[in-house]
Copies of this chain bind each other. A is one copy, B any other.
Amino acid sequence: MSNPDTQAVKNYLLALQDSICKKLEAEDGGAVFVDDIWEREINPDKPGMTGGGYTRLLVNGNVIEQGGVNFSHVFGEKMPASATAHRPELAGRSFQAMGVSLVIHPKNPLIPTSHANVRFFIAEKEGEEPVWWFGGGYDLTPYYGYEEDCIAWHKTAQDACQPFGKDVYPRFKSWCDEYFYLKHRDEQRGIGGLFFDDLNKWGFEKSFKFLQSVGDSYCDAYLPIVAKRKKLVYTEIQREFQLYRRGRYVEYNLVYDRGTLFGLQSGGRTESILMSMPPLVKWKYNWKPEANSEEDRLYKYFLKPRDWVTI
């Protein structure tokens, strides 16, 4: 098995961040991304953790109310105990983690929120084979459902997986449905997409190619939807519903999302992690959509795991 080319992954991730930001700016047509380069603060609870990141944020655009595209690369001298409990072979190893993570919150409630993440992890030890894996995916969270958008989103995801085997899309699509689920609401966060983790069985070359296929297809999946929906006029009621539904995004990320919780607990950079929070959110006690309304249809039809590609 060839050794993983960490530098190649890093180069890809930085180029991906740049290309996604450029395409989003072009689609927005108003604001541009503002850059924030940060170094990991020294955390006395986690000695030997260093690194930094490159956070890019667009606010108050024509289309995007807030969008964050974050690159980070952190190093640890020693794997944290919590991470090695189930993988004792990693205990005592040094590690690196790098990734691009993004969340786009459009202003218009007829455009869905989207999230994407691609990441690489490697644990090393002098004189031993490195242990590494890739993870990532993307998922879509509409406020108003359009069947054709869901189909197109999933077809693009399927196309990105196709060269790697027929079973890849259905497996990572199901994983996504399982992952983005709010147990306390018995609701899906959105209409899903792809989610994968611990990917190394294909060897480095093929696994890295898959990561690139996922990363490169995100804009192909999302931007056509943005382009189509951004022209639609929305009502105050639709905007209210979006602000209310954004509460579910907050609940999911703070209660369940492993990346968010691991980041916050391990002394990650809070502002970059919580860039995923929507800029404006409402909670309403016991609010329920009117029967047979479009809002009701979102819950009953769209926020259910569904086979969108053979519909």
Q: Which residues of A contact B (CB under 8 A)?
A: 36, 55, 57, 59, 66, 68, 183-185, 247, 250-251, 254-255, 261, 264-265, 270-271, 273-275, 277-286
Contact A271–B254 (Cβ < 8 Å): no
Given A184-B264, A264-B184, A280-B281: A271 and B286 within 8 A (CB)?
yes
Q: Which residue on chain B has the smallest CB distance to residue A59?
A: B285
List residues of chain B with CB within 8 A of the CB of A247: 277
Interface centre among A183, A247, A286 (most CB of B within 10 A): A286
A277/B283 in contact, CB under 8 A: yes
Assembly CA distance A55 to B285 (angstroms): 10
Looking at chain A's contact residues, the main secondary structure is: mixed
Q: How far is the CA of A285 from the CA of B254 in the complex (A)?
A: 16
Complex Cα spacing A163 to B215, Å: 64
Q: Which residues of B contact A254 (CB under 8 A)?
A: 250-251, 254-255
Copies in the complex: 2
Whether B59 lies near A270 (C-beta < 8 A) is no
Hey, which chain B residues are within 8 Å of A275, CB to CB? Answer: 285
CB-based nearest B residue for A66? B285
A253 to nearest B CB, angstroms? 9
Query: A183 CB to closest chain B CB, in angstroms?
Result: 8
Q: Which residue in B55, B185, B273, B279 is a CB contact (below 8 Å) of A282?
A: B279
- 12 pairs of residues in contact across A and B, judged by CB atoms under 8 Å: A36-B286, A55-B285, A57-B285, A59-B285, A183-B265, A184-B270, A184-B273, A250-B254, A250-B281, A255-B261, A277-B283, A280-B281
Chain B residues with Cβ below 8 Å from A251 are 254, 274
Using Cβ atoms and an 8 Å threshold, which residues of chain B touch A261? 255
Give bound CA distance, A266 to B36, whole Å.
Answer: 40
Q: How far is the CB of A101 from chain B (nearest CB, A)?
A: 14
CB neighbours of A250 from chain B (8 A): 250, 254, 281
Q: Which residue of B lies closest to A277 (CB)?
A: B283
Q: Is the CB of B68 within 8 A of A285?
A: yes
Chain B residues positioned under 8 Å from A185 (CB to CB): 270
For A105, the closest partner residue in chain B by CB is: B283
Chain B positions within 8 Å of A279 at CB level: 282-284
Q: A271-B286, A279-B282 are in contact. List 15 more A-B contacts (CB 8 A).
A: A55-B285, A57-B285, A68-B285, A184-B264, A185-B270, A250-B281, A251-B274, A255-B255, A255-B264, A274-B283, A275-B285, A278-B283, A279-B284, A280-B280, A280-B282
**Nearest B-chain residue to A247, judged by Cβ:** B277
